[in-house]
Amino acid sequence: RFSNPIQLPLAGKKVVVTAGPTRERIDPVRYISNFSSGKMGYAMAEAATKLGASTVLISGPVELPKPEGVRLVKVESAAQMLEAVLAEYDDASIVVKSAAVADYKPKEAQTQKMKKKDGDSSIELERTTDILKTLGAHKNSQILVGFAAETNDAIGYGKSKLESKNLDYIIVNDVTDPGGGFGSDTNVVTLLTRAGKSYPFEAMLKSELANVLLEKIIQEERATVD
């Protein structure tokens, strides 16, 4: 009597996506950051939702509208992003770390605007926590997907990040490729799997690519379960 509803592949699954840059405050008017636009991460969140997932998008400061149907959690620093991701981690099926997390932060954030002084030449920095590595070290059944934006030997660096962070997949791209990179609406990537497979993709709109990447990951997961 009822038509069989077509089950979307991520129905009933929680997908957590991080996107955008982080900002590490130097003082009330200055920060350290990077050129991430957040477009790839927002596209991943939108694609996951269309595939039926209940999606949480944890985003650094970007100029993008909230994708429809997504729960948006806005953060600023790497420390805030870590906290927000950990709060969503336990019941997540897939975590996609598209964010370009700042690797360093000022050792001390000044509460007053710093004044320039003759002879001043440096700010003391320290490393931020590697969020993805932390997730990889505490993985239960989550599928962990990382990104690696490189300027050279993208595949080589991608493979070593996949291993060192205990990931299931990593999406690598060469940011110097004319078909993609920061700010661009298109991207050229290769998907590397934990099992050692490598899937290169043609230049595509980030929105289209996000869907293709998730579909590929779903297909790979089915293949390993069956």
Q: Is 50 annotated as a binding residue?
A: no
Q: Is 66 annotated as a binding residue?
A: no
Q: Is 97 annotated as a binding residue?
A: no
Cα torsion at 144, 31, 63, 128 (round to 10°)? 0
Q: Which of 42, 131, 137, 40 is nearest to 87 (CA)?
A: 131
Least distance from C-beta 177 to ligand CTP, angstroms?
A: 15
- The answer to whether 130 contacts ligand CTP (rule: CB under 6 A) is yes
Least distance from C-beta 63 to Ca ion, angstroms?
A: 22
- The answer to whether 148 contacts ligand CTP (rule: CB under 6 A) is yes
Q: Is 113 annotated as a binding residue?
A: yes
Q: Dig out the tokens for 171 from the structure.
A: 């999406």
Looking at residues 99 to 118 of the shown chain, list those that interact with ligand CTP (rule: CB under 6 A). Answer: 99, 101, 103
Assign residue 219 a region: left if phi > 0, alpha if psi is -120 to 50, beta otherwise? alpha
Which C-beta is closer to ligand CTP: that of 13 or that of 97? 97
CA distances from 220 to 192, 193, 213, 217 (A): 11, 9, 11, 5
- The answer to whether 146 contacts ligand CTP (rule: CB under 6 A) is yes
Distance separating alpha carbons of residues 180 and 200, to the nearest angstrom: 14
Q: What b/e sequence results for 28-51 when a residue is b if at least 16 CB atoms lie within 10 Å of its CB, and e otherwise?
A: eeebbbeebbbbbbbbbbbbbbbb
Which C-beta is closer to ligand CTP: that of 148 or that of 192? 148
- Contact track, ligand CTP, 61-90, x by CB under 6 A: -----------------x------------
Q: Which residues pair with 173 in a beta bridge?
A: 149
Annotated active-site positions, please? 34
Helix (H, G, I), strand (E, B) or coil at 125: strand
Least distance from C-beta 32 to ligand CTP, angstroms?
A: 12
Question: From the CA atom positions of the chain, what is the Rg in Å?
Answer: 18
Q: Look at the alpha carbons of 87, 90, 95, 97 in this order and tell me if their dihedral is positive or negative.
A: positive
Which C-beta is closer to ligand CTP: that of 50 or that of 161? 161
Of positions 54, 55, 128, 211, contacts ligand CTP by CB under 6 A: 128
Which C-beta is closer to ligand CTP: that of 29 or that of 137? 137
Q: Cβ neighbours of residue 214 under 8 Å, at least 6 residues apart?
A: 10, 44, 47, 48, 51
- The answer to whether 213 contacts ligand CTP (rule: CB under 6 A) is no
The residues that touch Ca ion, with contacts defined as CB under 5 A, are: 103
The residues that touch ligand CTP, with contacts defined as CB under 6 A, are: 78, 97, 99, 101, 103, 128, 130-132, 146-149, 161
Annotated binding-site residues for CTP read: 103, 113, 147, 161, 165
